[in-house]
Every structure is written in structure tokens, then in C-alpha cells.
Structure 1
Amino acid sequence: MQHIEFFNRDHFYQHFHRRKAKNALSTFIDFFWETDFDALWSKYPDGFTDALFPDVGYTYMINLGTPFKMQLDEQPFDIKADIFLPRYKNILTLHTAGNKVFGIKFKVSPIIFLKKVNFYEYRDSIFPLVYLLDKVITDKVRTANTFDKRVAIISSYYEDVITQYKGSLKYVDIVTDVLKQYSNSNFTTSVEQYAAMHNISVRTLQRYFEAATSISSKQALQITRIRKAITAFVQSPSTFNYAAFGYFDYSHFYKYISKFIKNHKMAHVQSPLQLLQGSGIINY
């Protein structure tokens, strides 16, 4: 059995705890999540796969259960410990009984305030989380007995980091500002315009994005737009306004959505029109 992001919305709504980041944290963190699969093992004794499409930033994953398998595009990994991974790639995860994972989806990780990390150097694989998060923190998360407590531990840690260092790195301020502005715009502002707003060259903006998110500014904005558009489309197909996302017409929108979905070679999707099926919209 395979569950696909955007398509099998009931699965991702019912079997994951989610908490959207708030206040200062929301500039850096999209949301916290944790698997809730106990009710599924009798239905899928041999396990199941979850397919995710590209996103911006990184995900930290703290393993609270047994080992599991993942693929980034078509590159396989056996996951036994805590990891972090780039989100611009297509993901497929095989879950079996005993699996339990707590995750943090970052737009930009505040670790760059503490360590000289260039995330472009961590764009092609999965890496041990100990590189970026102290074992003392991961052990606290692992021993906490509820999702809410785990969120509180991580939130407190990163709130302290942001309070102490926010504003100390120009490129971080620029990247987070561009991502925030673009997410709340009509998606027609170009990379060139954002560079001009911040009095830097397009190449410099690209370098800033690569260091903070592992991908170029253009790719980050493209991913942001298509994900926002798909989310709006599945929430209310009858009222979806393609122009609100910078598309000329439905044909233009369908062209981009088809390419985005079909690039996930591991996701068993016959047609993007399957997005019209299913239920369950994530409500934080």
C-alpha cells in the first residue's frame, strides 16, 4: 500500500500529529510532526510506503522506534538512528510495525547561527543528525512521553537560539525574508526583483539560498509556488483561482502540476486529476 502526499490526504491527516510553528519560530520552522501508525499495523502487516513531493529546506528526524527504509529520489537508505535530509528531493519511506518518528520541517535551520554550516554541501544524501543537534537535546526528545512535550523541548531550544542570534547573519535575514514575502504574495515577483530589493546581485541571492536551503533561489520559489497552488486546489477545486498563483490559465497550471507530480518516479499516480479525490485537509 502506498500513501501519496496531496492525494491520500486522509492518511496524512489522521495518522500524523502536526503542530505549526508560531511566532519567531515560524520564520525558520514550518511544523513539527510525529507518526501515529499504531492503528495501521493490523491493516498493513507487511507495512506501507509514504511518498512526499519536494519542499524547501530540511527535515530533522528523531527515531523513536525501529529502523526503517527511505529513498531520496531513487537512492535507498537504511535508517537506524537520527538523521537530517534535504527536502528538495522526492521521498519514499517504507514503514513497518515498530516504526515511530518525530520530525521537524525547517525552512531554514537556526543551526547556522551556531555552526558554520553551508547546507549546499549536504544536498545529495541523508546525514546523521548528531552533526547538527546535540545528543543531549535528542535524548530529551526521545525520553519525553508525548508529542506535545517533544514539541516544547525543541521549541524552547530553538527559541533561545533565535533570540540570541537573530539578525547576526545578513544572508539568513535575506533568505527568510524572501521566503516569507513570496509565500504571502501573488507569486509573480521575480528573483531579480527580490535581489534588487535587498541591494544584492542575483548571483549573491542564489548563493545565499544555496547556503541556507541547499537549492537556488529560483528553485526554492518554484517549489513554494507549486506546493501552495496544489494545496489551494485540493482544498477547494471549485473556487481555485489559478491567477492568484501567477498562472495564466488552467492549462498553464496543469502543465506545472503535471511536471511536479510526474517527476516523482516512485509515486504511483496515474493522473494529477486524482487530486480531486480523497479527503482530509491538514488543519494545524
Structure 2
Amino acid sequence: MVEIFQNIRKIYRFSAPCEELVNYIEFYSQSVLDLSVQQVKAEFSTVKMFPSWTPTFYINLGSPYYIDLKNTRYHVKEQQDVLLLRNEDVTRHKLTTDNIFTVKFNPGGLEAVLGLNQVPVIDKLIDLNQILPRQLLQKIKQPLSFEERVVIIETFLLDKLIKQTTPDHYVKMVNDSIGEYRGTGMQLNTSKVAERLFITSKTINRYFNRVIGTAPKNYFSIMRGRNALTAFVNDRENFVPIDYGYYDLSHFHKDVMNLTGQRITKHQF
């Protein structure tokens, strides 16, 4: 299975965060265990994911699996939980008994909620026991429903956010920059975004590298490419490249190739 090109959502359940956390967390998810999707899961022994710079918790409720990251294959044991940044292509090899509970943060969200900068996570697989209390992980691993697990982790994260008494200026400025870029239809370059926020291009570059770990130009390109490709796959006939800042379809195809390493024409929709 290739992320975006194929519908990865049909083998997972999803839940949006509460209003207080919506700026920092993209979603919670868990593998679907219903027997009706077992055949679908069997068809996809791997899941290839493209860069997103989104710190993600993978809490293992089922079988061991392998992750390919930066030309290295990691064995994640049955009871092992990990944190992954997804700053490059990542491939997860899985079984039909796969059962993962996931918390996907927005860029900078890990720092805003838990006070942990994501830059040191670049190209690494971090044991989640170094990040979350062991008691919390054990509680999530109990035989509970997806909704109950969401309540447990969200209560913990909301409490942590409330205790972050001093808002991080760097994180706020990066979030504002991303909001400005998204709000203007992903049409602006880095200099224009900086201008709208009354900061210099040098400053916005420093902030992004400090909070996310990459330059705003690279992050905006990834953000635009992922959003545009998702829209294209969902409704190819009505896709308009200029809506995402592309000159034409050729420009869009080239950007997708740069992001994914794959040609759109390779896939059937």
C-alpha cells in the first residue's frame, strides 16, 4: 500500500482531537480488527508513507513489525511503542494481526503539548517509554475500545498542554506561518508569508528549522504536494492545479514525482 495513492484509511479508524488540541494534533487512529477487512489487510503487507514532518506515536497493541527508515530496517517488538518523525519516506511492514494505536501530531505539536522539540527525532526511531509514563502506556494497552483509548490519551495530553504555562514564541510563529500559507490557498512563497507576519525571510527560516527541523520552503512544498495529490486522487476529473499554486498539470506531476518518487501515471484511480 502506498500512502495517498491508495486508500489507507479503509484499514484504520480515525478520531479528531478535541477543540483545545486541534492546533497540535492531526488525529488519533487504530487498526480495524473487523473480520470484514482482513482480506484487505492481507493485500497490503507494507505501507509506504511519504514525508510529512509530523511526530507520530505508534502504540503497539498487536504483532511485531518492521519499519524501514533511512536505509535501516528496525524490528519493533510486540510490546514496543515508538515515536517517529516521518521526515523522509518510511515503510512499515505488517501482518494481518497488525493492531496499532496512533497519535499523529502536527509539526511543532509535540513541543507545544509536551515541551519536546521534534528536531532531535530526525532520522530516528525513539522508544516511547522515554516520552510517556509507563503506567499510561500500560493503561492504553488494556482490552479497551478505540474510543476509550482516545479519552485516556487525550486527557493526558490536555493536562500536559494546560501545564505549559509559557507559550513558545517559536512554535506560535511557525503555526501562524502555516496557517497563513494554508489560508491563502498555498499560493504564497516563503518571503510573502514572512511579510504578512511582519518578520524577515531570515527569521522565518530560523524559526522553522528550530521548531520543525526543515526550512519553510521545503515544508510548504511538502504540505502543498500532499494536499494536492490527495485532492487529485479523490476527484481527478475536477482537480484544478492552479487551486494549489501549480501552473499546470505538468508542474503538478513534476512536484508529485519529487515528493513521492513515483509517477501518477503508474497508479490507477
Q: Same fold (TM over 0.5)?
A: yes
Segment of structure 1 superposing worse, 46-55 or 138-147: 46-55
Query: In structure 1, the residue corresponding to 2:22 is in which secondary structure?
Result: helix
- Cα separation, partners in 2 of 1:74 and 1:47, compared to 1, 3 Å: same
TM-superposition CA deviations, 1:155-201 (whole Å, max 9, x none): 22222333343762111111122222322322122222233333433
Deviation (angstroms), 1:147: 0.8
For 2:73, the equivalent position in structure 1 comes to: 76
Counterpart of 1:4, as a letter, is V
Q: Does the 8 Å CA contact 2:110/2:117 hold for their aligned counterparts?
A: no
Q: Which residue of 2 aligns with 1:30?
A: 26
Within the candidate set 53, 56, 61, 2:53 is matched to 56
Count how many residue pairs are aligned between Structure 1 and Structure 2: 266
| Residue 256 (structure 2) aligns with | 257
RMSD of the alignment, in Å?
2.5
Change (3 A) 1:132 1:209: farther
Gaps of 5+ in 2: none
Residue number in structure 2 paired with 1:183: 182
Question: Counterparts in 2 of 1:1-284, with a 5 A limit?
Answer: 3-9=1-7, 12-36=8-32, 39=35, 48-80=45-77, 81-108=80-107, 110-113=109-112, 117-143=116-142, 145-165=144-164, 168-262=167-261, 271-277=263-269
Does the C-alpha gap of structure 1 residues 179 and 76 become closer, same or farther in structure 2, counting only changes over 3 Å? same
Q: Contact 1:110–1:158 at 8 Å: present in 2 too?
A: no
Q: Which amino acid letter does the alignment assign opposite residue 251 of structure 1?
A: S
CA–CA separation in structure 2 for the residues paired with 1:19 and 1:44: 20
In structure 2, give the amino acid aligned to 1:272: I
Task: Give the Cα–Cα distance (whole angstroms) in 1 for the partners of residues 202 and 143 of structure 2.
Answer: 44
SS at match of 1:168: coil
Distance in structure 2 (CA, Å) of the matches to 1:244 and 1:275: 22
The whole-number CA distance in structure 2 between the counterparts of 1:37 and 1:71 is: 24
Counterpart-to-counterpart distance in 2, 1:82 and 1:155: 17
**8 Å CA contact 2:117, 2:211 repeated in 1:** yes
Any stretches of 5+ residues in structure 1 without a counterpart? 263-268, 278-284
Q: Indicate conservation of the 8 Å contact 2:51/2:88, yes or no.
A: yes
Please report the TM-score for the alignment, with normalisation by the length of structure 1.
0.83
1:148 to partner: Cα distance: 0.9
The SS at the match of 1:66 is coil
C-alpha displacement of 1:42: 6.4
Q: Deviations over 1:124-150 (max 9, x none)?
A: 111111222222322222125111111
Describe the shift of the 1:61–1:260 C-alpha distance in structure 2 as closer, same or farther (beyond 3 A).
Answer: same
Query: For residues 82 and 103 of structure 2, what CA distance do their matches in structure 1 show?
Result: 11
Deviation at 1:114, TM superposition (A): 6.8
The alpha-carbon deviation at position 235 of structure 1 amounts to: 1.5
* More off after superposition, 84-93 vs 13-22: 13-22
The SS at the match of 1:27 is: coil
* Residue 17 (structure 1) shift: 0.7
- State the 1:274 CA deviation: 4.4
Distance 1:275 1:46, change over 3 A: closer
Task: Tell me, yes or no, if the aligned pair for 2:64 and 2:75 is still in contact at 8 Å.
Answer: yes
Aligned residue identity for 2:2? I
The 3-state SS of whatever aligns with 1:127 is strand
Amino acid at match of 2:12: F
| Structure showing greater relative contact order (alpha-carbon pairs closer than 8 Å, 6 or more residues apart) | 1
